[in-house]
Amino acid sequence: MYDFKSETVEIQKKVRAFVKEHVDPIAMEVDATGELPLSILKSWKETGLICMVAPKEVGGPELDAVSCAVVMEELSYGCLGVATALGANNLCSFPVLIAGTPEQKKLHFGTLLEGNYGAFAMTEPCAGSDIGAISTTARKKGDEYVLNGTKCFITQGGLAAIYIVFASTDKSKGKKGLSAFIVERWREGISTGKVEDKMGIRASNTVELILQDVRVPASHLLGKEGDGMKLAMKALDSGRLMVAAQAVGVARRALDECVKFVKARVDNGKPLASQQAVSFKIADMVAAVEAGKQLVYRGAMLKDTCQPYSRHSAIAKLFCTEMAIRVARDAMEIMGVYGYTRETYVEKIWRDARILSIYEGTNQILRGVISRSLLR
């Protein structure tokens, strides 16, 4: 493990205290209802971490990548759904950090730091992994752009006060014609459609977002027309590191729940923990979690020191997410029927973990990213 700076250790302690006080008591309840109380966002704002990457110049904490990874790991240890909801403000902020003007940063980060959610609006019904297939359009009209289209699976989309919307400003150019815009929720023509009833991460809000003749000032364009693909890829490089950190937190929790169970369980008159088959399986789980940690914090260090990290981010996300799914599965199998019932936390962890290999770039896509970096 890497030695954390004293500031990062203090942040870790703060998040662990937040999870213990605010997340643990309601995790099972919000999983059942599918609704995260707004009081959680208010309490999260009080930690000063509501938008971890917000620059100090606009009143944010401006955490480095290592500290952000620590936050996401600890939140996910408590509940992956809560971590996904609270982490949405990071993903939607990366394009603004990369290409935003001082005025755009003030608008975007000011909205989030006031105590609001933001959302990253890219995915569409026919444009998931294929970003070039985005059909949402942004037509220039005078000193405004008019946006039309439908987005889907937008995290916190039904609750967000501000969006980063990806739309085509030139359909003839395919993915090279994509652009990114800051769009406030209050603008006329924005509505939400279907609210997804998900298998896991139920504490996070996932919706269809509809844009119908939504007018935004030309000054809300991030960078230049055609910069959308570049901004999306850079944002996802950062986001994938955070998903890998989430996976480590999920796997740690599954391991801890399993260890707690086997220490207390007696089978055929002998403690379950004394059985070699069980202890060897747990050893494999421990090794996998530790390997995942190394990948996450190595990647975060690469980013913080301005070294290339795109391929490493893909590797970390691929390994850690599949590791988390495997550890959750193994914990459930060791616990048997008890791990399969909703009375134990492992069942929830298994359902939550399954999304990790899907969102922010499916693992099949990442295999292509990794292999192309060597074979092209």
DSSP string, 82-113: HHHHHHHHHHTTHHHHHH--HHHHHHHHHHHH
Residue from 74, 208, 257, 360 carrying the catalytic annotation: 360
Helix (H, G, I), strand (E, B) or coil at 218: helix
User: Comparing C-alpha atoms, which of 10, 54, 16, 64 is closest to residue 241?
Assistant: 64
Residue 333, φ and ψ in degrees, nearest 5: -70, -40
Residue 146, φ and ψ in degrees, nearest 5: -110, 120
Whether 144 is catalytic:
no
DSSP per-residue string spanning 245-312: HHHHHHHHHHHHHHHHHHHH-EETTEEGGG-HHHHHHHHHHHHHHHHHHHHHHHHHHHHHTT---HHH
CB 33 within 8 A of CB 41: no
CB 327 within 8 A of CB 289: yes
Res 287: pLDDT: 97
Res 273: pLDDT: 83
Q: What residues form DSSP beta bridges with 124?
A: 127
The 3-state DSSP composition of the chain as helix, strand, coil percent (nearest 5) reads 60, 15, 25
CA dist., res. 95 & res. 180, Å (int): 8
Res 147: pLDDT: 98
Q: Mind listing the pLDDT tens digit of every residue in the chain (376 residues)? A: 467 999 999 999 999 999 999 999 999 999 999 999 999 999 999 999 999 999 999 999 999 999 999 999 999 999 999 999 999 999 999 999 999 999 999 999 999 999 999 999 999 998 777 777 899 999 999 999 999 999 999 999 999 999 999 999 998 898 899 999 999 999 999 999 999 999 999 999 999 999 999 999 999 999 999 999 999 999 998 999 999 999 999 999 999 999 999 998 887 778 888 888 899 999 999 999 999 999 999 999 999 999 999 999 999 999 999 999 999 999 999 999 888 988 889 999 999 999 999 988 899 999 999 999 888 7
Domains of the chain with bracketed CATH: 6-113 (1.10.540.10), 118-226 (2.40.110.10), 230-375 (1.20.140.10)
Half-sphere exposure of residue 124, counting CA atoms within 13 Å on the CB side? 20
Res 11: pLDDT: 96
Residue 17, φ and ψ in degrees, nearest 5: -65, -40
User: Comparing C-alpha atoms, which of 1, 86, 95 is closest to residue 45?
Assistant: 86
CB 251 within 8 A of CB 327: yes
CA dist., res. 230 & res. 236, Å (int): 10
Q: Which residues contact 44 (CB under 8 A, 6 or more apart)?
A: 18, 22, 50, 86
The two three-digit tokens of residue 221, written as one number:
């364009």
Res 2: pLDDT: 62
